[in-house]
Amino acid sequence: MTVRTGEAIAARAWPHSRGWSRRTRRQFITGLLFISLWIIGFFAFTLYPMVASLYYSFTEYHIKRAPEWIGLINYVNLFRDPLFWKSLSNTAYMVVIGVPLSLLVSFVCALLLNIKIRGQSIYRVIYYLPSIVPTVASTLLWLWILNPNSGLLNMLLGEIGIRGPNWTRDPAWSKPALILLGLWGVGNTIVIYLSGLQDVPVSLMEAAELDGANWWQRLWAVTIPMVSPITLFNLIIGVIATFQYFAQAYVLSAGVSPVGSGLGAPLNSTLFYSVYLYQQGFVYLKMGYASAQAWILFIIIMICTLLLLRSSERWTYYEGG
């Protein structure tokens, strides 16, 4: 085998590369080979499933039999399906209430953890620790904390004379309970905020201080605008993750009754979008319907992300930008 064969193949595969030097071409091929694992993985496990699911979303498909083309029927049925809307509104609740709340809490925690006091690093570790706990384990732990009678939370509430709600069995409280659980695990967001806070230029702070700005004014006029790109990042990541909210709700509904009263318990209040999608796909084997659900979710997430990015021009500040 000669060198020319390799070149010929390269030239045939990438005609525009004809003008490349031998060296460039070889580097190109070597580079491709180095990332070939990723490329194959991407095609096999990301691109192909995505394209396939787009196709399935226009079919009736139950795994074994060949998919049957039915056009837009899955989409039409979805818009008529009350549980589709229910799951969407449950998910929207988490996005609209849960995400901003978690940003607020992580920002406040990051501010506190940024204060130079003794034991600072220990506090940082403590706040980050819950993020390491696997989701299923932390959810089970919270089921115990949220137990209406013997749970830690209601016992503490009882100490101050409040009769705590029936967190996991009352449809009005199940989503707040899940938000609470989420707030416990915001360690990652705190770390990102913390790094942003440390990037706030000391010179700006000092200048503001010399101008007589108090702590609040410095926070409003300097810190918050300076970390606004971080807020945007956390917001988008949070929104995307929350739209795909699954594991906690799955574990919660399995744990609510001793043998599990089904997904979405109590009373479909935790039937989130991904949970409903899972039910259609893997319980009822309606893969076409589930694929259509997945694509609608994809479009919703894309629109939300674009809107957030566009609106961000008005409220984010980039130094030198």
Q: State the residues that interact with another protein by CB under 8 A.
A: 1-3, 5-6, 26, 33, 36-37, 40, 44, 62-65, 147-150, 166, 168-170, 256-259, 261-268, 279, 282-285
Structure tokens at 33: 């080979």
- The Cα-based distances of 122 to 93, 125, 190, 318 in angstroms read 34, 5, 14, 32
Instruction: Between 95 and 263, name the residue whose CB sits nearer to another protein.
Output: 263
Structure tokens at 274: 């991904």
CB of 305 to another protein, least distance (A): 29
Burial of residue 107, with CB atoms counted within 10 A of its CB: 0-12 exposed, 13-18 middle, 19 or more buried: buried
Instruction: Between 196 and 264, name the residue whose CB sits nearer to another protein.
Output: 264
How far apart CA 230 and CA 236 sit, in angstroms, is: 10
Residue whose tokens read 């705190």: 190
Instruction: Between 247 and 304, name the residue whose CB sits nearer to another protein.
Output: 247
Instruction: Between 25 and 124, name the residue whose CB sits nearer to another protein.
Output: 25
92 CB neighbour count, 10 Å cutoff: 15
CB of 157 to another protein, least distance (A): 13
CB of 300 to another protein, least distance (A): 24
Instruction: Between 170 and 209, name the residue whose CB sits nearer to another protein.
Output: 170
Instruction: Between 124 and 169, name the residue whose CB sits nearer to another protein.
Output: 169
CB of 111 to another protein, least distance (A): 37
CB of 230 to another protein, least distance (A): 36
- The Cα-based distances of 161 to 157, 164, 200 in angstroms read 6, 9, 43
Task: Outline where the chain has alpha helix (H).
Answer: 3-13, 22-34, 36-42, 48-56, 73-80, 82-93, 99-113, 120-128, 135-145, 152-159, 171-184, 187-198, 202-210, 215-218, 224-226, 228-243, 247-256, 273-278, 287-315
Instruction: Between 57 and 280, name the residue whose CB sits nearer to another protein.
Output: 280
How far apart CA 143 and CA 165 sit, in angstroms, is: 13
How far apart CA 188 and CA 185 sit, in angstroms, is: 8
C-alpha radius of gyration, the chain, whole number = 26
